[in-house]
């Protein structure tokens, strides 16, 4: 029995370490997602740009063009009476390690005020951890599928399956 004790202690330590590491990754991804939604609600374009993958910023023509595009999108939404009011990160987080990145699929629930009511939407974000997960980026999946995701996240390896998109639910004001 004594020969098994070091083995059991090692196994317990490895399990505890991997759970701690997963929790740290999850927390980094959750922190980035919370910062992303807070920035969207506050029209904080600088934070949104800092949470955008560098390749996407380059594809947009640089930081200034990205800032301009974000401003136009938000102005257009405001002009239509669309305002993000709240968000919630759901529990079923899934992650995968690929090449030098960590990909975390984060289910979210958002509530937006729209003319005549509110829209509740269930969707997913992908948090991309780089530099040993010290830097996180956030990618919306609304226009992504298994065929075009590699154009946005070059190191995506399909080990996480993108869920089917759900239609938003409109609830009329009373």
Q: Which tens digits make up the pLDDT trace of 58-111?
A: 999 999 999 999 999 999 999 999 999 999 999 889 999 987 899 999 999 999
Give the DSSP H or E segment for 57: helix 54-59
Q: How far is it, in rounded angstroms, from Cα 8 to Cα 10?
A: 5
Domain 4-172 grouped into CATH 3.10.450.100: yes
Q: Who's near 150: CB < 8 A, 6+ residues apart?
A: 156
Burial 74-108 (b: 16+ CB within 10 A, else e): beeeeeeeeebeebeeeeebbbeebeebbbbbbbb
What pLDDT does 49 receive? 97
Tokens of 164: 């089917």
- Is the pLDDT score of 18 beyond 80? no
Q: How far is it, in rounded angstroms, from Cα 25 to Cα 11?
A: 21
Pairing state between β 135-140 and 117-130: antiparallel
Q: Which tens digits make up the pLDDT trace of 142-165?
A: 999 989 999 999 999 999 999 999
Q: Who's near 39: CB < 8 A, 6+ residues apart?
A: 45, 47, 48, 51
Pairing state between β 135-140 and 101-114: unpaired
What pLDDT does 92 receive? 85
- Is the pLDDT score of 167 beyond 80? yes
Name residue 96's beta-bridge partners: 103
Q: How far is it, in rounded angstroms, from Cα 135 to Cα 130?
A: 5
**Closest to 139 measured CA to CA, from 130, 149, 67:** 149
Q: What percent of the chain has pLDDT over 90?
A: 79
**Closest to 87 measured CA to CA, from 52, 115, 124:** 124
């Amino acid at each position: 029995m004594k020969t098994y004790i070091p083995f059991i202690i090692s196994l317990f330590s490895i399990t505890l370490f991997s759970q701690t590491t997963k929790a740290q990754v999850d927390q980094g991804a959750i922190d980035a997602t919370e910062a992303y939604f807070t920035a969207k609600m506050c029209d904080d374009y600088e934070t949104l740009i800092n949470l955008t993958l560098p390749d996407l910023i380059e594809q947009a023509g640089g930081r200034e063009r990205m800032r301009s595009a974000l401003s136009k999108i938000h102005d257009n939404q405001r002009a239509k009476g669309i305002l993000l009011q709240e968000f919630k990160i759901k529990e079923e987080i899934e992650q995968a390690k690929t090449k030098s990145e960590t990909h975390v699929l984060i289910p979210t629930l958002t509530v937006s005020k729209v003319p005549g009511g509110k829209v509740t939407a269930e969707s997913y974000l992908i948090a991309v951890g780089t530099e040993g997960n010290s830097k996180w980026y956030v990618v919306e999946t609304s226009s992504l599928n298994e065929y075009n995701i590699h154009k946005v996240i070059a190191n995506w390896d399909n080990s996480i399956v993108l869920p089917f998109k759900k239609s938003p639910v409109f609830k009329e004001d009373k």
